[in-house]
Amino acid sequence: MKLRYPQVLLLLCSLVALPSVMAADSVKLDTPAGGWRTGAPEGEGEHFRQTVNYPASSVNTPAGQANTARISGQIKATPKSTEPGRLIVNGVSMPLKIDPAGRFDRPFSFPNGSNSVEVRSPDGQQRQRTQFLNSSGGATPAKLRVLLAWDSDNTDLDLHLITPDGAHIWYGDRAVPNGAALDVDVTTGYGPEIFAMPAPIKGQYLVYVNYFGGGYSSDEEGQEDAVQALTTAQVTVITEEGTPNEKMETFLVPMRAVGELTLVKSFSYP
């Protein structure tokens, strides 16, 4: 049975406003909020690059970050733990850095269309989920996105992409003429780093991860000492995101030494 336009709109609004059955009073999501929203005007206030500084600072999101480009809130009843929480965005699960008061604040570049965000406490007992429809003011949706996350704090892994025309996208050259860009560059642990390309060129793509630096631990006096930290990189490749043809693949790669550069995935588009 086909629905007429008013019926479709009513159904869509009811789906967006529906509260999550997994919501918990102990988990508060300040942003994103459920419903319909538009991005900041021309990217105003959306800053995705952190300053590289080792030992790494504990800053999660750059000062002045727009609410349209962040995931923030607090897990109030979480037991004291050094373990991260979990952040699940559109089906991609990543570690979530939580401070001693249970607060979290991560930069994130959301695609157009429907988005779901779920936050879980380190023990998995508390969780909150929201869903919203995102419109970025007419920007072309990315048909190819690559997300990098990793499982250690105070470390910096970097995402590198080589496109079929030979362009190299990385934190040193974040936007290139073919339209590809590194939207998010996190330097203080866990990620995410996000590559996006609205109109992918046909041909072969190479995805690399570089263990740039970090591997620091704090002693009882608060001094940070360098350690050789093993960290596991998680790379997720998404094509045709938000369409019936969406395809998602996730790869786990151990990174053992600072300076290591690893080819994680080679793939062809389309």
Spell out the domain ranges in the chain: 5-269
Per this entry, what is the length of the chain?
270
What six digits make up the tokens of 84? Answer: 């991260």
DSSP 78: P
Place of tokens 């151990």: 254
What is residue 16's predicted lDDT score, i.e. its pLDDT? 40
What is residue 32's predicted lDDT score, i.e. its pLDDT? 92
In the chain, pLDDT over 70 holds for what percent of residues?
74
pLDDT < 70 regions, the chain: 1-24, 39-64, 78-79, 136-139, 215-228
What is the Cα–Cα distance from 236 to 89, expressed in whole angstroms?
A: 12
Q: Report the predicted TM-score, pTM, of the whole model to 2 decimal places.
A: 0.81
- Burial code (b: 16+ CB inside 10 Å, e: under 16) for 161-190 equals bbbeeebebbbeebebebbbbbbbbbbbbb
Place of tokens 């002693």: 219
What is residue 180's predicted lDDT score, i.e. its pLDDT? 95
What is residue 233's predicted lDDT score, i.e. its pLDDT? 97
Q: Which residues contact 67 (CB under 8 A, 6 or more apart)?
A: 30, 31, 32
Amino acid type, 195: F
Among the listed residues 34, 221, 26, the one whose alpha carbon sits nearest the alpha carbon of residue 114: 34
What six digits make up the tokens of 196? Answer: 């996006």
DSSP 69: G
What is residue 196's predicted lDDT score, i.e. its pLDDT? 94
What is the Cα–Cα distance from 137 to 123, expressed in whole angstroms?
A: 38
What is residue 219's predicted lDDT score, i.e. its pLDDT? 52
What is residue 65's predicted lDDT score, i.e. its pLDDT? 72
Summarised one tens digit per residue, pLDDT across range 189-205 is: 999 999 999 999 999 99
Provide the Cα torsion 91, 92, 94, 97; round to 10°.
-60
What is residue 131's predicted lDDT score, i.e. its pLDDT? 96
What is residue 183's predicted lDDT score, i.e. its pLDDT? 87
CB 242 within 8 A of CB 111: yes
What is the Cα–Cα distance from 170 to 20, expressed in whole angstroms?
A: 37
What is residue 48's predicted lDDT score, i.e. its pLDDT? 46
